[in-house]
Amino acid sequence: MSKAKHSERFDHIDAMRAVAVILVIWTHYAERFVPLAGSQYVLDTLQRSVNFGRIGVVLFFAISGMLIPTSLHGEIGAGTKRFLVRRFFRLYPAYWLALPAGYFVHWYLFDKRMDVHGFLANVTMIPAAFGESLILPHGWTLETELYFYGLCLILFWCGALHRMLHLCLVTVGLCGLFVLTLELRLFPADLLSQYKTMPYHLGIMFWGACFRMAYDNPSQLLRVRLAGSGALSRLSLTYRSALACVTIPVVGIALVGAVADWRHHNTFHLPISLAYMIGIATFAILATLLKLRIRLLSWIGKISYSIYLLHSLPLFVAFWLCQRFHIAGWPLGLYMIVPMVPLIPLSWVGYRLCEAPFVKLAHALTSRRESRVFASGDATG
């Protein structure tokens, strides 16, 4: 497949990334400024009703599941090196660039301090694992992403990453693990929410991998051998049918949670449960029936990682200025738009000067290695 055709084929995925990051920004901006606003509270009420931010996170996780496993291919040694190099240069340089600015905005401006151990823990992208606070409060999703990469590598080494049956089993297993830990209260009550929900989030990512398999080969047969003998000991499902089956526990968890929240009048958690269902449905629709081919959205999606990393910087600077100079009573929409004005050019500069060059460097390094060691197709990592 030519690069042009490949790009055209997945332009709608970039547009979906744009939708995801816009939803995240909407939530973070609305909930931060609503105490200061004098009108247009509906902008916050709307996003809280179904938790726009969580919908955006679900979209990001499903997109990662759809794209990341396909970048692991070829011989185990060479494929692993290529994957690690490209993922490292894709995530870490832009993240490191955002850290000092994030510390100044989130910590220094608000008279908070972090010791050197906390800062070094943040450099790893998994500060919570070391018991340290996050410099960038929304960075918890990146830690989940790294664990997903680790699981993908394990499956790749076992020869299971590109097998539909194994992907389905991993998805169902992670969903089952989430339910088990929840029902048996295996996690400490004070454990961070990101760890309590991590099995489910990883399950959504592997559901995205199942979705990709069914998307590429909907009619291919998945043959399952069960214990025993006879006609029922062998089952055959198309990849599309297998995806439908594995979607049941993924959506079912959110549905059961929503029903429980409704019955117990848990108005705080109900929007979160609904967000998972809406996020999964939105992903499926935007990936198949409603492929957005809008240039602006595709462009925003292209720089969405930089936008995601940096979106809180103008937000908290604006919030700090409003507190310092007692700027209150504006319409909520105006508060939300003002920080977005510098956000887009700031993100574009970050993408052009940091993110894109390091991605290009990673591809150059791994392509050179591939040409010397083995012949393989294009990686999409």
Q: What is the pLDDT of residues 250-287, one digit of tens each?
A: 999 999 999 999 999 999 999 999 999 999 999 999 99
Confidence band of 224 (pLDDT split at 50, 70, 90) = confident
Confidence band of 223 (pLDDT split at 50, 70, 90) = confident
Q: Is 296 exposed, middle or buried, given 0-12, 13-18 or 19+ CB atoms closer than 10 A?
A: exposed
pTM of the model: 0.93
- Residue pLDDT, tens place only, 352-371: 999 999 999 999 999 865 55
Residue with tokens 């594995």: 246
Alpha-carbon distance of 251 to 173, in angstroms, equals: 14
Res. 8: pLDDT tops 90: no
Q: What angle do CA 108, 111, 116 make, to 5 degrees?
A: 55
- Residue pLDDT, tens place only, 120-173: 999 999 999 999 999 999 999 999 999 999 999 999 999 999 999 999 999 999
pLDDT over 70, % of the chain = 92
- Averaged pLDDT for residues 211-226: 90
Alpha-carbon distance of 71 to 381, in angstroms, equals: 5
What is the chain's mean pLDDT, rounded?
A: 93
Q: Where are the alpha helices (DSSP H) in 264-331?
A: 270-287, 295-302, 304-310, 312-324
Confidence band of 380 (pLDDT split at 50, 70, 90) = very low
For residue 381, what pLDDT is reported?
A: 38
Confidence band of 228 (pLDDT split at 50, 70, 90) = low
Residue with tokens 């919030």: 319
Q: CA quadruple 229, 230, 233, 234: dihedral positive or negative?
A: positive
Nearest by Cα to 146 from 68, 55, 209, 70: 68
Q: What are the tokens at 51?
A: 């938790």
Distance of CA 237 to the CA centre of its chain: 29
